[in-house]
Amino acid sequence: MNLKESIESVRNNFRTDSDPFPTDSKSIELLYVKYLGRKGLVSDLFSQLINVSNKERPSIGKNLNQLKKEITNSFKIVDRSSSNIDSIEEDYTLPGLSFPTGYIHPLQQTMNEIKTIFMNVGFSIAYGPEIDDDFHNFGALNFPPEHPARDMQDTFFIDPDTVLRTHTSNVQIHLMENEEPPLRYIVPGRVYRNEAISFKSYCLFHQVEGIYVDKNVSFADHKGILEFFVKRMFGEQTKMRFRPSFFPFTEPSAEVDIWSEKSGQWLEILGSGMVDPEVFKSVNIDPDIWQGFAFGMGIERICMLKYEIDDIRLLYQGDMRFLEQF
């Protein structure tokens, strides 16, 4: 092989060895030594120029210089690129990269806050089935068969005796069946109602049920716990009132309202009352010995009031522009 052919061979070999060009410094150094080192292939070609005739030497020398320039420029390009990367990595004055982070959903934030408030005054947390039988969802809670809540317009029936629970009150029945008083629980969870979706209603939502059973429990105890909750949830200056109401499973019953300065009106936040003796009888608890109170609130309702959200559908659309505000 003559020198001209050797030059082309080295050029082709370099293109093969440098495609792709190595990225780590060790491999780059080995490639450089192989071709441009003192005993490298290019130096070896230059040493062979002495054997070329005077006539061919200018042409072959020019070709050889061109080869050396091509190879050297390849290393210069990589060196500049590496220097830029290094300088960026080591420039600690540049702003950091912003990575997207997750957010706790406002409903979960509200749920967590409610749990913390009641746990601070001795309530435990219990969970129960979202699919339950008629007895636990209605019958044991003193809903007579003709009660409107049993109508198909309000309840999702799986079969005539099985429903998607319409409130978390079903769990208080399970608790009173399975545990001896005294009891002090809150029951958070999802509930389902066959309602038209609008800005103020949804076919599923979240509730927190509270149940307290002990000896000598009075309406004053019930009122004190709920006043404590409202002040912690909405602020010490929040105005509230208890308004007489009716629920099949409590007697007497009351709804709790808070005053909204923004809208200039009372807004309902929860329903409550003393546990009806008939409910105690359905789970074999003697109402002459044990008394109690229960309350239930919609998490969406509390969340919307606390954060001034005017459309419940915003909580379920997964819109990051909305969620990032929390």
pLDDT computed for residue 44 by the predictor:
86
Residues 5-25 have a mean pLDDT of 83
Q: What is the mean pLDDT of residues 202-208?
A: 89
Split at pLDDT 50, 70, 90, the class of 153 is: low
pLDDT of residue 88: 45
Q: Whose structure tokens read 């958070």?
A: 188
Tell which residue, 167, 154, 161, 151, has the closest CA to residue 194.
154
The sign of the torsion formed by the CA atoms of 228, 234, 239, 240 equals: negative
Q: Which pair of tokens denotes residue 304?
A: 């919307």
Other beta carbons less than 10 A from residue 304's beta carbon: 22
Among the ranges given (105-114, 137-146, 278-287), the one the predictor scored with the smallest mean pLDDT = 137-146
pLDDT score of 128: 93
Report the pLDDT value the prediction gives residue 296, as an integer from 0 to 100: 94
Q: Indicate whether 86 pLDDT > 50.
A: no
- Model pTM score: 0.67
Q: What one-character DSSP code corresponds to residue 213? A: E
Structural domains of the chain in order of their starting residue, each with its CATH number: 3-90 (no CATH), 106-323 (3.30.930.10)
60-69 contacts at long range (C-beta below 8 A, 24 or more positions apart): 60/3, 60/4, 60/7, 63/4, 63/7, 64/7, 67/7, 67/10, 67/11, 67/42, 68/36, 68/42
Q: Inform me whether the pLDDT recorded for 100 exceeds 90.
A: no
Q: C-alpha distances in angstroms, 256 versus 145, 238, 245, 325?
A: 28, 12, 10, 29
Closest CA to 272 of 300, 292, 291: 292
The closest of 278, 267, 269, 277 to 296, measured between CA atoms, is 269
At residue 299 the predicted structure's pLDDT band, cuts being 50, 70 and 90, is very high
Residue 101 has pLDDT above 80, yes or no: no
Mean pLDDT over all residues of the chain?
87
Residue pair 83/24 in contact (Cβ under 8 Å)? The answer is no
Highest-scoring range by mean pLDDT, 27-31, 62-66, 230-234: 230-234
Q: Residue 248 gets which letter from DSSP?
A: T
Cα separation, 201 vs 199, whole angstroms: 6
Name the pairing type of β-strands 204-214 and 240-247. unpaired
Q: How confident is the model at residue 216 (pLDDT cuts 50, 70, 90)?
A: very high
Question: Using CA atoms, how far apart are residues 303 and 111, in angstroms rounded to an integer?
Answer: 9
CA torsion through residues 187, 119, 110, 224, sign: positive
Stretch 243-265: mean pLDDT: 91
DSSP conformational letter for 282: H
Average confidence (pLDDT) over 37-60: 84
Helix axes of 3-17 and 57-90: crossing angle, nearest 10 degrees: 20
